[in-house]
A = this chain, B = another copy of it.
Amino acid sequence: MSPEQFREEGKKIIDWIADYYENVEKYPVLSQVKPGEIISSLPENPPQKGEAMDKMMRDIEEKIMPGITHWQSPNFYAYFPSNTSFPSILGDLVSSGLGVQGMIWATSPAATELETRVLDWLAEMMAMPEKFKSKSTGGGVIQDTASTSALTAIIAARERVTKFESNEKGVQQKLVAYISTQTHSSLEKAIKMAGIGKENLRLIDVDKKFAMKPEELDTQIQKDKNAGFVPFFICGALGTTSSNAMDPLRKIGEIAQKENCWFHIDGAMSGTAMLCPEFRYLMDGVELADSFVFNPHKWMFTNFDCDVFWVGNRNELIHTFSILPEYLKNKATESGAVFDYRDWHVQLGRRFRSLKLWFVIRHYGVEGLQFHIRKHVELSQKFTKWVNDSDDFELFVEPPLNLVCFRHKKGDDFNMKLMNTINETGKIFFTHTKLNGQIVLRMSIGQTNTEEAHVKNAWDLIQNTAKSL
């Protein structure tokens, strides 16, 4: 493909994307295809000869679009959002265009240094402790997902407590980690992957708001120490996935400090709210954390994947993950004057992901980001009020931010039927969870273009469908 053809085809795709956003509400939010429907529409064998772009774009329209669940529809209320924005798409396009691989500083200094600067900006924007900034002892790095960041934190914690011996000899001590019963499943997965074992992961009970009970944490730690275990890692949630419960971070952090445990804060979705001063009380105690993760690719208008992982002590992280084969040696690394981000995480190769984050922050500005976050929280408060005012529905737990957990009073089966019936209309898409053994419906409000009219329509649809069932 020549540059001239690229200009032509590229502009058509830009228009196609703009058209998509202008028409996104016309598609069913949840894809309505059956398993195997998409794959059976695609040729079984690869083409021997090259094909034209317009054929590919026609196939996107005809074969791929029916199998898309529209995360960028303003009527998407499922899971947590994974929202994006035009500036983010353009930043990502520049990254694809440049095609640099920033595994170490030398392989594209701008990829490393822009990432450092943008994550320092974010730390300032969210009033994070100084230690998380690159000028201090720590710093940030972009990873793919909060799952991978959790694994990174657990391995670094494992090395710190074993004085970097488990990297050498394997896991030998009886290490034990702590999360709540509500903590994200990725923590369990990471504990397994790191060779610690699920049996050495303690699930601490939660209170009525589904937040970890710190006194239970303390009790369990003492019990484990008496039994010869070595507590090494505690994860506190700044917003759990099921219900957006807020763990008491200060109390957990104090216990972590007393017990010499690595304290990891998982704010994958809700971390973004820290852009607004009025929500920062939720992270009271953050200065006690060793690591903090949040995903701009969830609620900060930055397209997937873009996960921010901060640590207070980068040397621990680098000591854990550093590998330096001869073929990657270079003057800048040897000088010690640069970050080689490959030593900050699992993988070696790195995409230039800070570009899209830079574009997003500069396009919106701090005030623009705050405006949109506040709007989503306000919409959630309105939805909460409608639920509270209704005779048929009940609020399950007071929402701290933008996730509303509610249910119809008629019980589990009715709620599941209600949700599935609505999702099958394609008009909105929302999902469920289980809390205290009960089915609970979740309205997760965070798509970039969701306005009050969308949320109102969703509530009308939910009410009317409930009446008609």
Contacts of A189 in B (CB 8 A): 321, 323, 346
Contacts of A146 in B (CB 8 A): 348
Looking at the complex, which one of B72, B82, B349 makes contact with A144 (CB distance below 8 Å)? B349
Can you give 8 contacting A-B residue pairs, CB < 8 Å? A3-B21, A47-B361, A49-B368, A69-B106, A72-B99, A96-B303, A145-B348, A170-B199
| Given A13-B94, A35-B335, A349-B304: A110 touches B362 (CB 8 Å cut-off) | no
A442 to chain B, nearest CB (A): 7
- Verify A105–B433 contact, CB threshold 8 A: no
Q: Which of A56, A93, A195 has the most CB of B within 10 A?
A: A195
Looking at the complex, which one of B21, B106, B194, B327 makes contact with A193 (CB distance below 8 Å)? B194
In the complex, A257 has a CB within 8 A of chain B: no
Closest 3 CB pairs of A and B: A195-B195, A67-B110, A170-B197
Q: What 0/1 pattern do residues 343 to 362 of A give for CB contact below 8 A with B?
A: 00011111100010011011
- Verify A1–B50 contact, CB threshold 8 A: no
In the complex, A79 has a CB within 8 A of chain B: yes
In the complex, A294 has a CB within 8 A of chain B: no
In the complex, A453 has a CB within 8 A of chain B: no
- Verify B93–A10 contact, CB threshold 8 A: yes
Expressed in whole angstroms, the Cα–Cα distance for A11 and B10 within the complex equals: 7
Contacts of A206 in B (CB 8 A): none
- Verify A97–B17 contact, CB threshold 8 A: yes
Expressed in whole angstroms, the Cα–Cα distance for A200 and B151 within the complex equals: 21
Contacts of A18 in B (CB 8 A): 3-4, 6-7, 10
In the complex, A51 has a CB within 8 A of chain B: yes
In the complex, A155 has a CB within 8 A of chain B: yes
Q: What 0/1 pattern do residues 33 to 47 of A give for CB contact below 8 A with B?
A: 101111100100111
| Given A35-B332, A96-B89, A349-B305: A326 touches B113 (CB 8 Å cut-off) | no
Contacts of A175 in B (CB 8 A): 170
Q: How large is the interface on A (under 10, 10 to 19, 20 to 34, 35 or more residues)?
A: 35 or more
Other A-B pairs, 19, CB within 8 Å; known A189-B323, A346-B346: A1-B363, A3-B18, A3-B21, A4-B18, A10-B14, A10-B86, A17-B93, A33-B110, A47-B366, A48-B365, A51-B362, A69-B107, A82-B349, A89-B96, A92-B93, A144-B349, A194-B194, A194-B195, A326-B433
Contacts of A188 in B (CB 8 A): 323
Expressed in whole angstroms, the Cα–Cα distance for A47 and B324 within the complex equals: 37
| Given A335-B35, A349-B147, A363-B51: A90 touches B46 (CB 8 Å cut-off) | no
- Verify A433–B99 contact, CB threshold 8 A: no
A250 to chain B, nearest CB (A): 27
In the complex, A207 has a CB within 8 A of chain B: no
| Given A94-B60, A365-B48: A36 touches B337 (CB 8 Å cut-off) | yes
